[in-house]
Structure 1
């Protein structure tokens, strides 16, 4: 007989506790009942009982037992992202409750892309926390493709990112900082000491290529086509900013990157922007906020960021 989704839902609502979800997540992460029990501060029989409860409610196995431990079944692997999301939201709720009990002025949940973190938040959060020490800011970095998901799931009060092609319904975008593409290198690169450069000086350089599908890769390909170059390239391709900066710092490489992402490393004197006659503007950075219903903590952060943006311009 087919098990209806309504039956499963009623069972879960009536029987499942947070411990069941924790057991599922820990078993998948650690692959061993004993280690999962230790991580949860429980006994091994107690965790085994939690798993048996879940499998009985689902009427399906969630893990395959073997000599070395347990392996999640296809059903468990499909459930895990949802379970981890629920546990994450519970953690956020605990932070929110704790902040209220601690007489703080509220909590604001921020999702940010790498550009938003480096180009905006790194500049404003130190001053904001000094001005509003009782406001708690929970910051999570997301990929640009996950911005809509952060809004749709309600997991973020504000999103710091580039201006989107389409602003989600019920939200609005406030631009804060213009951006542009620059050519960057480490301080030991032979071109780093030059006070003036022409594009022709880059023809024989070795480049760190951007990830396929990124805006930086598109601009990089356009630059190569315009100049007629066939450059030497590094065999590492990554979207991970710290890895990019480490490679530039330790190898004689060039990279075409948005200045906003690079800015903290340039200001700390760790990387160099080459003085080139380039005019490659990029979409501005700013903040996505709900048109209505933003809490007091969020309003304070938005106002502070916009005030700082006015000073930058």
Structure 2
């Protein structure tokens, strides 16, 4: 097929915005609602784009739309263009006054309860008018937001090396510990075997997380079934409340486990379960001045975190 001519004036920004919304919403109705247009307008806009490209971008079904191979490829480029334009506007504004800019950071459990708050505190001390927006989510969802330019960088566990799309920089290594409340029946026990933990309720990470897969492998290596009485969540607020109020056992990053004196570690080694905490950002665009300030501070704060996961 002939290469579509996308710079002859037919392709509009609204086409790129619609594709991004369709991929995230999974339906024309949802995309139209997000963009505050009617469904016929959204449908007509999609037809225009498919005519320009000469290929179908989405397959229509009773439950919505799914991307074709063409749609997946075009959506990736559309997100990159939109991200660059968003960044361009912010970059120009922040060159005039970086202290009054905005940085949007995504985070998940590892790194979110110690490293990021300390870094934000230091940033605000030096730049009180710089706005920091924190968005929580799964690592996978945050990478989509990072690709689309809706967040500037991600702080949390590194699950892959740098690639063509993302640059990943390790800040420190962190262990994973089994923890309970200080009044738990096992809190003062020594020589605890994994089988001793079976009668208690557990909190495990959600099935799609890397830590969950590693814990499943740990149980399998030790010929022990995954706890049946369990709650699955990545919300630290829920984990913390349940730990303090019940006899639940949870697996948490060492930094988090060491921050609350009411939560104690069990003498059960999860080695080699652990991870590297770091910062991830897009290779396809330059960080704004505000994002550079936060990135630099994250590096400085992480250097002060010692091997036990305590901030100096």
- Quote the residue 1:276 is aligned against: 267
Write the distance in 1 (CA, Å) between the matches of 2:96 and 2:53.
Answer: 38
- Quote the residue 2:126 is aligned against: 131
How many residue pairs end up in the alignment? Answer: 296
2:28–2:64 Cα contact (<8 Å) kept: yes
- Quote the residue 1:121 is aligned against: 116
How far does residue 288 in structure 1 lie from its aligned partner after superposition? 6.6
- Who wins on radius of gyration, i.e. which is larger? 1
Q: In structure 2, the residue corresponding to 1:191 is in which secondary structure?
A: coil
- Quote the residue 1:23 is aligned against: 18
Q: Give a deviation string over 1:195-214, Cα, whole Å, max 9, x none.
A: 55541453643444554883
Q: In structure 2, the residue corresponding to 1:23 is in which secondary structure?
A: helix
1:179–1:283 Cα contact (<8 Å) kept: yes
Structure 1: runs of 5+ lacking an equivalent:
none
Higher helix share: 1
Q: Give a deviation string over 1:88-146, Cα, whole Å, max 9, x none.
A: 55444444444446663656565555312234103321332232124454656676679
Report whether the alignment pairs 1:285 with 2:297.
no
1:238–1:244 Cα contact (<8 Å) kept: yes
Write the distance in 2 (CA, Å) between the matches of 1:152 and 1:81.
Answer: 8
- Quote the residue 1:199 is aligned against: 192
How far does residue 17 in structure 1 lie from its aligned partner after superposition? 1.0
How far does residue 160 in structure 1 lie from its aligned partner after superposition? 3.5
How far does residue 181 in structure 1 lie from its aligned partner after superposition? 2.1
Normalised TM-score (structure 2):
0.63
- Quote the residue 1:74 is aligned against: 68
Which residue, out of 47, 58, 74, partners 1:52?
Answer: 47
Q: In structure 1, the residue corresponding to 2:111 is in which secondary structure?
A: helix
Q: In structure 2, the residue corresponding to 1:233 is in which secondary structure?
A: coil
Alignment of 1:135-214 (within 5 A): 135-137=130-132, 160-162=155-157, 173=169, 175-176=171-172, 179-185=174-180, 190-191=184-185, 194-195=187-188, 197-200=190-193, 202=197, 204-209=199-204, 211=207, 214=210
Q: Give a deviation string over 1:33-55, Cα, whole Å, max 9, x none.
A: 6x755643446665454233223
2:56–2:71 Cα contact (<8 Å) kept: no
- Quote the residue 2:9 is aligned against: 14
Structure 2: runs of 5+ lacking an equivalent:
306-310
Q: Give a deviation string over 1:174-215, Cα, whole Å, max 9, x none.
A: 645x5322212468x7437x4555414536434445548835
Write the distance in 2 (CA, Å) between the matches of 1:233 and 1:131.
Answer: 49
Q: In structure 2, the residue corresponding to 1:199 is in which secondary structure?
A: coil
